[in-house]
Structure 1
Amino acid sequence: MTSASTLQFKSVTYTGLGQGPRVIIMGATHGNEVCGTQAIGRVMAELDAGRLHIGAGSVTFVPIVNPLAYAKNTRSGDRNLNRDLFPKADPQDFEDRVANWLCPLLAQHDVLLDLHSFNAAHGEPFVMVGPADNDGPLEPFRHMREERALARRLGVRRFVTGWMAAYGGGVQRRSRAVSSSEAELETVLRYGVGTTEYMRSTGGYALTLECGQHLDPGAPEVAYRAIMNTLAFLGLIDAPGPQPVPFEEMEALQMVVVHDKLDAGDRFTRAWASFDPVAEGEQIGVRADGTPVLAEFAGRILFPDTNAGPNQEWYYMTRPNPSFGQE
């Protein structure tokens, strides 16, 4: 059995002679999502062999963000690293210790590309993108144009926005139900912060790329292409800049609402997968007391979780986001 005390963290930085952005590219934030680790290894081998050269700026690679989860080949070590990602003065679990190392490293960079994969049996790659520029309390941001320009050059056509807004709406609904204080609400909202949200909070911008199903042999190629496109687009390597995916080929979706599992007996009426289309009024599930769960609008389901516990996120609903890329 792997002992956390025997593990260590690894990052490798390549710095060019010219001026440019400081980029960080990561794999295995979740330990069983290894396509990013494989692609990073491939790019580092090319750099070390001299087949690829960083001419400007710098790129830091973190092949394995969560070594405990990676060693166990599981999503998490002690808990999901991509929630409540902040430095902790009194770390309680292994992921807290990852955060104490990772968060200062993220803060030293300008741009993050976090490479993931998904559990669903089918589905095409997609990228999670941050909010529009705003000064609001939930996720203030000022790099929308740069972030979305990079997103359109990763090599995928599907874009999803609205994570923190939808997650925050669910938190506020739960908090009203239990009459939580404002301090408690803020604490719970922090739970929605993962790698990209933390990166944005430090003044940078960030993308999460879901490269395909965990075991899809094509997922590492999606990750490799995204790395190379990022390095070329941001001017770190001497290569033609990748063309953006055309607007007419894009599918942009906005996360609108999260629905919680209220009881262990709540169940889906079919084996839903992310991005399955759902018609308005279509039955998605049934509550433990027999009440049907119906779609309140037509859209696509996202992150359906049959293993969710009571009062945890069960599924999200998305609808088209026609303004994406037009702001």
Structure 2
Amino acid sequence: MALKPGPKVVVLGAVHGNERCGAQAIAQVVDELAAGAFCIERGVLTMVPVTNPYAYQQRTRQGDRNLNRNLRVSAEPTDYEDQIANVLCPLLDAHDVLLDLHSFHTPGQPFTMVGPTNNTGTLEPFQHSQEEERLVAHLGPRRVVEGWMDVYARGVQRRQQAQASANAALLDTGYGIGTSEYMRSRGGYGVTLECGQHDDPDAVGVAYRAIRQTLALLGLTSLALKPPESDFQVLRLEDVVDREHNDDHFAQPWKSFDPVVAGQVIGLRHDGREVTAPADGFVVFPNPGALPGNEWFYFARSSARSIG
């Protein structure tokens, strides 16, 4: 905390326990602050290197459940992540801006997840899209993904209609709410930065640069601000496809953002049914080890939205 007023910024690492680049990058920044390499001159900076200690210790994505879904305060917590959420949500409430550092399991380039444009709708009303886009433009990655809550609502509606999932959480309309969505619902704004593949050593550098850029952009420090990126590729999530059976398998070892053409086979169901691309687009977050009833992959298309 600085003596001069300014934004209250929170940086999270290891919301998922097997995504360790954020924790390592935060440790580097803490060391620099301790050594006096720079200081916080305005506002408040809170950094949580390991948000989910149980999952982090196990090197697993989650403990009892996915902390970054259905994030809210529970009057009667029933699992470990509920208990974490009861601490994490008030922490987010006390801040204005969130940078949440993640990684992914298949190879691919870093990208950011951005919220909706300003709106007064019922799904995700929001009034800070310009500030959020400005932050995204300075973080480094040129690939940006939108449409998170829309696609989650579509997935929940499909599961409810099919009554295909025995997991009540996957049928909850709040299932898509993670850290950034919670932050927006409380009047702030937040960006989820996917820094690279879990074990890619470059992912730590992506996270480290993003922290310093955030602090410089928002005026918490006098660190030099590097100029924003340009030529962004903006994609919009259009759908989520669940895995139905353990024997469902992909037609090839997809990587996130691999392009597909309309009608191309993405995967095969256990009974031989083909799962095909509904249009020209991209496979996002393919998870060959997804549990039945859970998200198998997402489908995205190019968006007309501009960043920067």
- TM above 0.5: yes
Tell me: CA distance 1:283–1:95, structure 2 relative to 1, closer, same or farther (3 Å). Answer: same
Amino acid at match of 2:37: R
Decide whether the 8 Å contact of 1:175 with 1:185 is kept in 2: no
Q: Which amino acid counterpart does residue 295 of structure 1 have in structure 2? A: A
1:24: which partner in 2? 10
**2:158 corresponds to:** 173
Residue 38 (structure 1) aligned to one of 9, 13, 24: 24
Secondary structure (helix, strand or coil) at the match of 2:239 reads strand
User: What is the aligned partner in structure 1 of residue 130 from structure 2?
Assistant: 145
Instruction: Say if 1:187 and 1:281 are closer, same or farther in 2 by CA, change over 3 A.
Output: closer
* Counterpart pick for 1:270 among 247, 252, 263: 252
Determine helix, strand or coil for the equivalent of 2:159: helix
- 1:19 CA drift (Å): 2.0
Tell me the equivalent position of 2:289.
307
> CA offset at residue 97 of structure 1?
0.6
In structure 1, what is the Cα distance between the partners aligned to 2:45 and 2:184?
A: 18
Match of residue 56 from structure 2: 70
- Mapping of residues 1-327 of structure 1, within 5 Å: 15-120=1-106, 122-178=107-163, 188-246=172-230, 249-325=231-307
- The verdict on how the C-alpha distance between 1:307 and 1:152 changes in structure 2, with shifts beyond 3 A counting, is same
Cα contact 1:171–1:185 (8 A) shared by 2: no
1:304–1:316 CA contact under 8 A, matched in 2: yes
Q: Which runs of 5+ in 2 are unaligned?
A: none
| Distance (Å, rounded) in 2 between the aligned partners of 1:215 and 1:261 | 25
Could you tell me how far 1:316 is from its partner in structure 2? 0.7
Asked if 1 retains the 8 angstrom alpha-carbon contact of 2:152 and 2:175, the reply is no
| Deviation (angstroms), 1:185 | 10
Paired residues in the alignment total 306
After superposition, the Cα gap between the structure-2 partners of 1:187 and 1:177, relative to the gap in structure 1 and judged at 3 Å, is: closer
Paired letter, 1:31? G
Q: Which moved more, 1:186-195 or 1:67-76?
A: 186-195
Determine the C-alpha separation between the residues in 1 that align with 2:65 and 2:160: 22
Once residues 308 and 187 of structure 1 are traced to their aligned partners in structure 2, the CA distance between those partners, rounded to angstroms, is: 17
1:177 CA drift (Å): 2.7
8 Å contact kept, 1:255–1:317? yes
* Preserved CA contact (<8 Å) 2:156 2:170: no
CA drift at 1:187:
6.6
SS at match of 1:152: helix
Q: Structure 2 length normalisation: TM-score?
A: 0.95
In the aligned structure 1, how far is the partner of 2:226 from the partner of 2:271? 53
Matched letter for residue 60 of structure 2: T
Quick check: 2:232–2:306 contact (8 Å CA) kept in 1? Answer: no
59-68 vs 171-180, which moves further = 171-180
Aligned to 1:8: none
Q: CA deviation at 1:170?
A: 1.2
Alignment check: 8 A CA contact 1:276 1:301 kept: yes
Q: Which amino acid aligns with 2:47?
A: F
Between the aligned residues of both structures, percent identity stands at 51
Aligned mates of 1:38, 1:229 — CA distance in 2: 17
> Helix, strand or coil for the counterpart of 1:153?
helix
Q: Is contact 2:6-2:44 (8 Å) kept? A: yes
Is the CA contact (8 Å cut-off) linking 1:167 and 1:258 kept in structure 2? yes
Q: Residue deviations 1:80-102, cap 9 Å, x none?
A: 11111111111111111100111
Matches of 1:128 and 1:52, distance apart in 2: 28
Distance 1:161 1:149 in 2: 15
Shift, 1:179, TM fit: 11
Question: Aligned Cα RMSD in Å?
Answer: 1.8
Distance 2:110 2:163 in 1: 37
User: For residues 169 and 31 of structure 2, what CA distance do their matches in structure 1 show?
Assistant: 46
Pairwise CA distance, 1:186: 11
Contact 2:11 2:101 in 1 (8 A): yes
After superposition, the C-alpha distances for 1:177-207 in whole angstroms (9 at most, x for unaligned) are: 3499xxx999712111111111111110001
Letter paired with 2:179: T
